[in-house]
Amino acid sequence: MALSEHLQIQLITFNRAAALEHTLGCLHASPFAGCAVRILDNCSDDDTPAVCARWRKRFADLEVIRHRRNIGGNANLLRAAELSEGTYTWILADDDYYDFEDCDDVLRELQAGEVDLICVGGAREGWEPGRSSVQALSAAGRRFWWTVAFLPSMIFRTELFDSRALSEGYRLADDLFPHFAFYRRQAERDASVHVSRRVLVLRAGDPGVPSSPLYWLRGWARSCGVIASPQQRRQAIYEIAQTPAAWWRLVVATVAIERLYHPERVWRLVLELSAALVGRQRAALPLAVVTALAPLPVLRRVAGYALRSRGGAPELSPFPSLEERP
């Protein structure tokens, strides 16, 4: 069977015509060019329709779905999973880095159709290439949730993203990672995983996550709330940083930054973060309160250190420049 019968690529996009052009060029020059590609345009008002029209003529099977209105990024990614028809699905964003120089093992796994997940990207430090499982990776201390937070990092068996996973995901669409509902189920059933020899996709940089580092930290903790086991949920929340100690430093840094830049909402976000934490992590509440009440010169020093060093800070969160401080 041809690769096109095994994999469907779903590409979600919004108002990044130049990045979309680059991504389509990368795919067209790759071994995945013959796969069905579906672009889900979230009602872009830039040159995205023209880019889609040009590339439709170059791909063997390219479909464009343009939403009548912007349904939000999370709803768009869930819609991509819902519409996929291939044996496997790969949901891509429009602005990441791709390297298709060595993907023969991924092509073989797709054609064999034996594994549930194929890990091709993300921050997968220490992941050994080859066959494994979700529980084996977690038991070895690998940051599974941190990796799957980057949506394009996993190619998944389409039938596993069923109506139950979709409905739960839509209920979580206001949080940052509604696809955690799907991966929670894969962790529970100990889904099989193939880890590719080479990373095929890397995050290009700022994902456009709105607001602030504390907003992101709170969203991460709330998204991890789908994990039923308190112990596993606590470990997943820690995965945002390299170590638990780095996580505690991160709490202090993000609260300091929030107090400086958005004092009007710092207490709401602190309380919402605390409500999402587990066990000893809830001691972050008094720590956050002490930090938020610190004198402004102290907060500026803490925030300045965090912005310069990114010490333990989440790679996905937007950090403003100190020069932009109001």
What's the pLDDT tens digit per position in 275-294? 999 999 999 999 999 999 99
Residue range 102-123, pLDDT digits in tens: 999 999 999 999 999 999 997 8
Dihedral angle sign, alpha carbons of residues 318, 321, 324, 326: positive
Task: Give the contacts of 37 (CB within 8 A, at least 6 positions apart).
Answer: 8, 9, 11, 24, 27, 59, 61, 62, 63
pLDDT of amino acid 304:
77
Spatial distance between the Cα atoms of 273 and 251, rounded to a whole number of angstroms: 10
Secondary-structure class of domain 3-202 per CATH: alpha beta
Spatial contact of 154 and 118, defined as CB atoms under 8 Å apart: yes
Spatial distance between the Cα atoms of 41 and 17, rounded to a whole number of angstroms: 10
Kindly indicate the confidence band of residue 5, based on its pLDDT and cuts at 50, 70 and 90.
Answer: confident
pLDDT of amino acid 236:
96
Exposure of 4 by Cβ count < 10 A (0-12 exposed, 13-18 middle, 19+ buried)?
Answer: middle
Mean pLDDT, rounded, for 247-253: 91
DSSP assignment string, 104-141: HHHHHHHHHT--SEEE-BS--TTPPSEEEEHHHHHHTT
The token pair at 61 is 């099977």
pLDDT of amino acid 3:
84
Average pLDDT taken over every residue of the chain: 90
Task: Give the contacts of 182 (CB within 8 A, at least 6 positions apart).
Answer: 81, 156, 160, 161, 165, 169
Whose tokens are 């519409």? That residue is: 83
pLDDT of amino acid 319:
37
pLDDT of amino acid 309:
58
Kindly indicate the confidence band of residue 316, based on its pLDDT and cuts at 50, 70 and 90.
Answer: very low
pLDDT of amino acid 206:
53
Q: How far is CA 81 from CA 28, 84, 120, 151, in A?
A: 22, 5, 18, 11
Mean pLDDT, rounded, for 81-87: 94
Mean pLDDT, rounded, for 267-271: 95
Kindly indicate the confidence band of residue 1, based on its pLDDT and cuts at 50, 70 and 90.
Answer: low
Residue range 7-51, pLDDT digits in tens: 999 999 999 999 999 999 999 999 999 999 999 999 999 999 999
pLDDT for residue 310 is more than 60: no
The domains of the chain are located at: 3-202, 213-324
Between residues 250 and 313, which one has the greater pLDDT? Answer: 250
Mean pLDDT, rounded, for 167-191: 93
Task: Give the contacts of 192 (CB within 8 A, at least 6 positions apart).
Answer: 114, 115, 116, 117, 131, 132, 133
pLDDT of amino acid 173:
85
Beginning with the edge strand found earlier in the chain, give each strand of the sheet holding 130-133 in spatial order: 62-66, 36-41, 7-13, 88-92, 154-157, 117-119, 192-195, 130-133
SS3 192: strand
pLDDT of amino acid 121:
92
Task: Give the contacts of 38 (CB within 8 A, at least 6 positions apart).
Answer: 8, 9, 10, 11, 62, 63, 64, 65, 80, 83, 84
State the amino acid at position 196 in one-letter form: S
Spatial contact of 296 and 260, defined as CB atoms under 8 Å apart: yes
pLDDT of amino acid 307:
63
Spatial distance between the Cα atoms of 271 and 191, rounded to a whole number of angstroms: 35
Whose tokens are 């690998």? That residue is: 142
Mean pLDDT, rounded, for 174-189: 94
Kindly indicate the confidence band of residue 169, based on its pLDDT and cuts at 50, 70 and 90.
Answer: very high
Task: Give the contacts of 230 (CB within 8 A, at least 6 positions apart).
Answer: 278, 279
Give 193's strand partners: 117, 132
pLDDT of amino acid 313:
44
208 Rama sector, left if φ>0, alpha if ψ -120 to 50, beta otherwise = left
